[in-house]
Amino acid sequence: MRVCIHRGAKEIGGSCVELESQGKRILLDLGLPLDAENNDVRYLPDIKGLDGSDPSFLGILISHPHVDHFGLLSHISEDISVGMGAAARRILKAAAPFMPCKWPAPDHGWDYESEVPFEIGPFTITPYLVDHSAYDAYALLIEADGKRLFYSGDFRAHGRKGKLFDRMIANPPENIDVMLLEGSSLGRLDDDKQFPTESDIEARFEKAFRDAG
Ligand SMILES: [Zn+2]
């Protein structure tokens, strides 16, 4: 299995990783860079098969429904299969009529079920539901050619699904050869500080609403 990080290693978001095995290829995420002026086709990485013309390109796996992970799907062929959480797919579809731009709402591909593996050509994919501010977010374990790559996607430990993080730490996927780990907030706080939990923020909102006239 070969890996090419097209975008996301030197910036937050815009994530796009290409995997190749036995002449077949898939993508992990196809995000719009956060500093893009608009969702323009010029931001699309130069990857063979995004126009649907290359049978060696098998599809795209989206980790979660945030624009910096799926936004550039606007510019690819509708023939390309796109994997994501079933709820994430429904959210994109429901949002589409309200969006001013060409909003990507892929209607065919693989619907993830947490910890249930599925195959795409030579790749075996196991999604893991994670805690993140986007609903229905997943980390992805990809196996091919006897190698195991773990792609964390965006995640956190202090949200409503924080238990999923604890569960992953207590029982992580084993024998990983390569890990691609999101880390956009690793250095934002001093060591003795913590982000508030989502429940803390809910309580603050509740108080603000009660106190308002
Ligand atoms: Zn995200």
Distance from residue 132's CA to the centre of ligand 1 (Å): 7
Q: Which of 14, 11, 19, 10 is nearest to 177 (CA)?
A: 19
The structure tokens listed for 16 are: 């796009």
Check which CATH number belongs to the domain holding 101 and give it.
3.60.15.10
Mean pLDDT on 161-186: 92
Contact 127, 140 (CB under 8 A): yes
The residue segments making up the domain with residue 151 are 2-211
Distance from residue 159's CA to the centre of ligand 1 (Å): 13
Mean pLDDT on 157-184: 93
Distance from residue 22's CA to the centre of ligand 1 (Å): 31
Distance from residue 199's CA to the centre of ligand 1 (Å): 19
| Three-state helix/strand/coil letters over the chain | CEEEEEECCCCCECCEEEEEECCEEEEECCCCECCCCCCCHHHCCCCCCCCCCCCCEEEEECCCCCHHHHHHHHHCCCCCCEEEEHHHHHHHHHHHHHCCCCCCCCCCCCEECCCCCEEECCEEEEEEEECCCCCCEEEEEEEECCEEEEECCCCCCCCCCHHHHHHHHHCCCCCCCEEECCCCCCCCCCCCCCCCCHHHHHHHHHHHHHHCC
Distance from residue 54's CA to the centre of ligand 1 (Å): 29
Distance from residue 64's CA to the centre of ligand 1 (Å): 7
Q: How far apart are CA 157 and CA 198, in angstroms?
A: 10
Question: Mind listing the pLDDT tens digit for each residue in 98-137?
Answer: 988 788 989 999 999 999 999 999 999 999 999 999 999 9
Amino acid (1-letter code) at residue 60: I
Distance from residue 21's CA to the centre of ligand 1 (Å): 27
Task: Judge whether residue 56 has pLDDT over 90.
Answer: yes
Mean pLDDT on 21-50: 96
Distance from residue 211's CA to the centre of ligand 1 (Å): 32
Distance from residue 135's CA to the centre of ligand 1 (Å): 9
Predicted pLDDT at 194 = 82
- Tally the domains of the chain: 1
Query: What is this structure's pTM?
Result: 0.92
Distance from residue 69's CA to the centre of ligand 1 (Å): 7
Question: Mind listing the pLDDT tens digit for each residue in 64-96?
Answer: 999 999 999 999 999 999 999 999 999 999 999
Distance from residue 143's CA to the centre of ligand 1 (Å): 23
